[in-house]
């Protein structure tokens, strides 16, 4: 009989909890705004529609920004870039970190030492500072920002993955493969990684939250899409001088970033609980199953 892969099973369980449903709804709504927003924008994001910091009116529903462009249009247009960069940075960071962690745990010895000391060195830099350092040396290129954020994630993911893998690599089914002479990379791929699914899913969620914050922060500081392009982080920076005249120019992007991180984080929390079997009715231990194995731990 076929069985749903672990990832889908956990996601399904997470969505059915109130926490997961709320998180998904909030995060999903923001993603929807960012993805279909550009198509809905009434004006081009670079078109001068009204006066700088004009109040909300029929012409510009959320007023004008620092140069008199439509805040609504720029808000709708300014999210996809942030999302895309965050997603790519997260994927790269988690993939690299997971690989480092699982290799260090599986092979141990000097490989473990070299990898984990390298990880410690990168960990010594605060995430944002590390990204700023790279970007200010090499210039504000999009790929560089993504790479910098990914690199800043990798060590943390590597630590978590290594700890989780150490438990798996000590299990007998891994030993059973080792004594057949099956090469390590195949054992890692077939036996270790599939058992890390839940751990990595939670890491993806967590790292996505951080990616969004770091990239939006970089964008606020001027590293990201360059003016006149629209970007939520950049908008907050550009429009903060007019906060009193037209607060929407700052509030809209800020609210969306906040909702996005809250949504992602809440959903991740639900996934973590679902994968651990904590809380949530459907994951309550079955008393009958418990009985059947009670004598086994002996």
**Under the rule (CB under 8 A), what is the footprint of another protein?**
1, 3, 6, 171-173, 175-182, 190-191, 194-195, 197, 285-288, 290-296, 298
Q: Give the residue with the Cβ less far from another protein, 139 or 290.
A: 290
CB of 117 to another protein, least distance (A): 24
CB of 232 to another protein, least distance (A): 39
Which of 86, 130, 127, 39 lies closest to 232, judged by CA? 86
Distance CA 59, CA 14 (A): 43
CB of 181 to another protein, least distance (A): 4
Q: How many alpha carbons fall within 13 Å on the CB side of residue 288?
A: 0
Q: Give the residue with the Cβ less far from another protein, 4 or 141.
A: 4
CB of 32 to another protein, least distance (A): 33
Q: Give the residue with the Cβ less far from another protein, 113 or 282.
A: 282
CB of 264 to another protein, least distance (A): 26
Distance CA 298, CA 145 (A): 53
Q: Give the residue with the Cβ less far from another protein, 139 or 287.
A: 287
Query: Hey, what long-range contacts does 219-225 have (CB within 8 A, 24 or more apart)?
Result: 219/82, 221/132, 222/140, 223/132, 223/135, 223/136, 223/140, 223/145, 224/81, 224/85, 224/140, 224/142, 224/145, 225/81, 225/142
Q: Give the residue with the Cβ less far from another protein, 141 or 171.
A: 171
Distance CA 186, CA 100 (A): 15
């Amino acid at each position: 009989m076929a069985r749903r892969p672990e990832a889908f099973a956990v996601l399904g369980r997470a969505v059915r909890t109130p926490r997961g449903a709320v998180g998904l709804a909030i995060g999903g709504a923001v993603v929807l705004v960012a993805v279909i927003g550009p198509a809905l924008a009434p004006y081009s994001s670079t078109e001068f529609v009204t006066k700088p910091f004009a109040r909300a009116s029929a012409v510009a529903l959320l007023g004008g920004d620092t140069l008199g462009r439509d805040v609504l249009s720029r808000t709708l247009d300014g999210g996809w870039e942030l999302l895309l960069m965050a997603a790519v940075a997260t994927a790269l960071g988690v993939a690299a970190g997971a690989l480092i962690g699982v290799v260090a745990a599986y092979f141990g010895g000097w490989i473990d030492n070299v990898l984990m000391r390298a990880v410690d060195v990168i960990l010594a830099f605060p995430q944002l500072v590390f990204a700023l350092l790279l970007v200010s040396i090499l210039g504000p290129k999009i790929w560089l920002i993504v790479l910098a954020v990914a690199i800043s994630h990798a060590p943390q993911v590597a630590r978590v993955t290594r700890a989780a893998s150490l438990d798996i690599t000590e299990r007998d089914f891994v030993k059973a493969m080792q004594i057949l002479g099956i090469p390590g990379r195949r054992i890692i791929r077939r036996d270790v990684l599939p058992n890390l699914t839940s751990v990595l899913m939670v890491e993806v969620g967590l790292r996505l939250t951080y990616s969004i914050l770091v990239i939006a922060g970089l964008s606020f500081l001027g590293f990201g899409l360059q003016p006149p392009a629209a970007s939520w982080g950049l908008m907050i920076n550009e429009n903060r001088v007019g906060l009193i005249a037209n607060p929407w120019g700052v509030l809209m992007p800020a609210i969306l970033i906040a909702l996005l991180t809250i949504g992602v984080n809440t959903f991740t929390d639900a996934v973590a609980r679902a994968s651990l079997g904590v809380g949530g009715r459907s994951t309550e231990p079955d008393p009958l199953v418990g009985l059947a194995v009670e004598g086994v731990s002996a």
